[in-house]
Amino acid sequence: MIDNTDQSLAIKKAHNSTGQAIYFTSVIIILGFSILAFSNFIPTIYFGLFTAFAMFLPYLLI
């Protein structure tokens, strides 16, 4: 049976190795969709802003 401390250590190691990559990838995606706000086509502006907001929303909830 796995001890709780081993499980906690495994979670911390996984977060340190992959969590940072997931964070930076999300930030880059948010910035990429935010650029669509500079479009001249209104639906593209809304799509970019709403998608960027949807990607940012989990950071507010955590």
First to last CA, the chain: 31
Contact 10, 17 (CB under 8 A): no
Average pLDDT, the chain: 88
- Distance in angstroms (rounded) separating the CA atoms of residues 22 and 43: 28
- Distance in angstroms (rounded) separating the CA atoms of residues 7 and 1: 11
- Distance in angstroms (rounded) separating the CA atoms of residues 7 and 30: 32
Domain ranges of the chain: 25-62
For residue 53, pLDDT beyond 60: yes
pLDDT in tens, 2-27: 566 788 888 888 878 887 888 899 99
Is the pTM for the entire model greater than 0.85? no
- Distance in angstroms (rounded) separating the CA atoms of residues 10 and 49: 36
pLDDT in tens, 22-48: 889 999 999 999 999 999 999 999 999
